[in-house]
Structure 1
Amino acid sequence: MADEKTADTASGGNTRKRKLLLIGAAAALVVLVLAATAWFLLGGEHADEDAKAASAPVAAPTAIYASLGEKFVVTLQEQGRQRYFQASLSALTRDESVVKALELHAPLIRGRLVALLGEQDFAALRTEAGKLALRDRILATLQDVLQTETGSAGVEQVFFTEFVLQ
């Protein structure tokens, strides 16, 4: 009799273990299904990529420096004397098409800039304020030509790469 009780207890214990194991497996399956559903509904991999793209800093377009051709040389009058002004210029843009437009319209740009440079006051160009004012006028001239010819100003800044007064 003692052997029968031991056998009944042992088979009853296995049944309980099986029930607990089945309940645990079912619970794990439910958790996996819920997790997969949530992942699918919330976008999965695409949501991660979108979140990374949104959090990544937006890189500014690369600066492109374009030379405005050969040196500009003009004569200026100061107190009845003939003076020379020589300058080389570069323009800053962030669009390759603007560089191509600068090359295409180089004769027009050069003509407008030679006229502008020839009107300058020699004494004013010797001051920092005069140089900055001229740089601003050159920028406005470039932007005006590009706006008229291409529909976009395109140039952000102009730099003197060479500036000689004699």
Structure 2
Amino acid sequence: MAEDEIQPEGGGKNKKKLIIIIAVVAVVLLVNVVAMFFIVQAMKGDEKAAVAAAEAAKQETPANAKPHYVSLDPPFVVNFEDQSLVRFLQVTVEVMTRDPAMVAEIEHHMPRIRNSLVLLFSSQNYQTLSTREGKIQIRKQALTEVQSILKERTGKPGVEAIYFTSFVMQ
């Protein structure tokens, strides 16, 4: 009879532990879902801010102002994996601004700009970059990266366009 009394108590403790574990897991999942919601909302706001910043840059400088081109030398060379093959990308990038004061800002923030672009280029997919649409898409992403850095540091997006003057994949 003593054994019969011990088993229900042990089973009750296990049920309580199981309920507590399930409750903790549910709370953690709920917190993650709420956090992801706010992160996605913030990312949407960043995209809208980048578009608004580009529009503001166009309005601040006259459309007929002389363009200034800044070469991001040396060319970017990154590697990435494609179906267990190591691929290389070498791309020469130039940025265009109509604000002469922005040329110095671009050169001043060059290490941060180059770092962001290296990370962007190395995270790409070979098949995507093989297409014209893929190259256009990465050019848009690179423009957004550079504009966000300059906007953060100077208050203006500063760059109107990015051009790939050389694009070699191997």
Alignment of 1:6-155 (within 5 A): 60-155=64-159
* Equivalent pair of 1:68/1:102 in contact (CA under 8 Å): no
* Count of residue pairs brought into register by the alignment: 109
RMSD (CA atoms): 1.2
- Structure 1: 5+ residue stretches without partners: 1-57
Give the fraction of aligned pairs with identical amino acids, expressed as a percent.
38
Q: Considering Cα pairs closer than 8 Å and 6+ residues apart, tell me whether 1 or 2 has the greater RCO.
A: 2
TM-score of the aligned structures, taking structure 1 as reference length: 0.64
- TM-score normalised to structure 2 length: 0.62
Q: Which of 1 and 2 has greater Rg?
A: 1
The offset of 1:59, in angstroms, is 7.7
CA deviations on 1:103-136 (whole Å, 9 max, x unpaired) are 0000011111101111000110000000000000
TM-fit CA distance, 1:98: 1.0
3-state SS in 2 of match to 1:84: strand
User: Where in structure 2 are there 5+ consecutive unaligned residues?
Assistant: 1-61
> In structure 2, what is the Cα distance between the partners aligned to 1:59 and 1:131?
26
Q: Quick one: structure 1 residues 97 and 83, their matched pair in 2 at CA, closer, same or farther if it must change by over 3 Å? A: same
- Secondary structure at the residue paired with 1:76? strand
Instruction: Return the letter of the residue paired with 1:157.
Output: A
